Amino acid sequence: MKVDLLLAEKPSAAKAIARALGNSQQKRFERKVLYYIVDNDKYVCSAVGHLFTLYPKDSERGHYPKWDYMWVPTYSANPRVSYAKGYLDCLKTITSQFNFDRYIIATDFDPEGTVIGFITFIALKVSMEKAYRMKMHSLAKDEVLRAYNNLEPPDYPWFRAGLARHQTDVLYGINLTEIFSDAIAKVRGRRKTVSLGRVQTPTLKFVVDREREIRSFVPKPYWNVLLKFEFQGLEYVAKYVSGDVFDKNVVQQILERCKGMTTAKIVKVEKTIVETHTPTLFNLPMLQQEAFYKLGFSPDYTDKLAQSLYQQALITYPRTGSTAIWTGVPYKKVLDNLEKETTYAEYVHEIKENNFQPHKRGISDGAHVALSPTGEPYTPKTSNEAKLLDLIKRRFLAVFFPPLKRQKTEITLDVNGEPFKIAGEKTIDLGWLNPYTYRKVTDFILPELQ
């Protein structure tokens, strides 16, 4: 009988993987750290994020540039993560007691997760010839089983990409921070550590440049010329055709020409049908933006909620660049599961009755599916997680619906040679706004004029 060791990225992921792989689960503790034995042939263990970190060989302050680094346990470099020692000791004990047939990296399917798996197995002196990669898009049972039954060789390109990022971060961060902090100390007479980094410093420059633009902006006065008129007992407001007027003399001329006029001539009535395309599925930046405007969640908070939902097997991997629905995603099963929820049942019924198919718009990053619900029947841990999950589910349902269709009416009026325009809209078909209730449209219906 072959025996496997699976390394998950976090304890919650290990729990979900163990739950998905088999009915017989034994919970064991080693060094007070929980791991699982599934069907007697699969040991599911967990890291707790990074168990190792890059650290300079010469850590003395004032010696720079520092070019040489080594991988050390995170708890030895940072006492605040002392809890990581128990997880590393647990893995050391298990791998020393058993000679496994396969060592499976079951961390998050991204360069960071790949680095965690590789560095941990290398430090444990695991033979990489026995190493495999589980490529999961979610922690839902069917997806975990699919990935386990289709193991792939270790993904060395992602490992090298992840290593390059870590090395660059350390080279920039440690050296520039020390150089800049020492420079400040020479000027101020006392040392103050100022953190610089590969990402944070250029980002800070963008923020500073934008703030300078805002502070240096000089507003320019302008006027809007509006025409109020009554028709069939209702009052309407039309705007001057050219929009904002920056010359006060021109405003005075317009007012003089319109002064005393009691009627307006209808010059043109134009009606057009406007369709708003169905949105794509979310990637992480799009989810963060929508959650900020619709739920009031900060981008960082949304990221944490999405990660938690992923670890609970409720959504696919959140840090994706894809926005197009993948044919590999079992969306029909997701629809079937959503149909069992009262909140979404009517929308799924409409999709099935009309044989709506998901639109193919959007992009694929080639690695991850777009952010989608898994359809698993678990309840989120918190109310805010439930709100974010509802946003994701409704966006998923919206992808199946037709475009929003509205009729736009524009009426051009003439008052003594001065043109004014008024516009109205009315909804013909809500389309994808039916399930996606986070977007609203307001009708402004104009009278039938000719």
Give the C-alpha separation, 278 to 286, whole Å. Answer: 15
Give backbone dihedrals phi and psi of 80, rounded to 5 degrees, phi first.
-70, -15
Query: Which of 351, 306, 317, 310 lies closest to 331 in space, CA to CA?
Result: 351
DSSP state of 152: B
Confirm if 296 and 290 have CB atoms less than 8 A apart. no
Active-site residue, from 36, 87, 240, 317: 317
Find the length of the chain.
Answer: 450
317 assigned to active site: yes
Residues 6 or more apart from 195 whose CB is under 8 A from it?
173, 177
Give the C-alpha separation, 428 to 408, whole Å. Answer: 10
Give the C-alpha separation, 371 to 378, whole Å. Answer: 18
Query: Which of 443, 425, 445, 432 lies closest to 400 in space, CA to CA?
Result: 432
Residues 6 or more apart from 229 whose CB is under 8 A from it?
235, 236, 238, 264, 413
Confirm if 300 and 285 have CB atoms less than 8 A apart. no
Confirm if 265 and 413 have CB atoms less than 8 A apart. yes
Catalytic residue numbers read 317
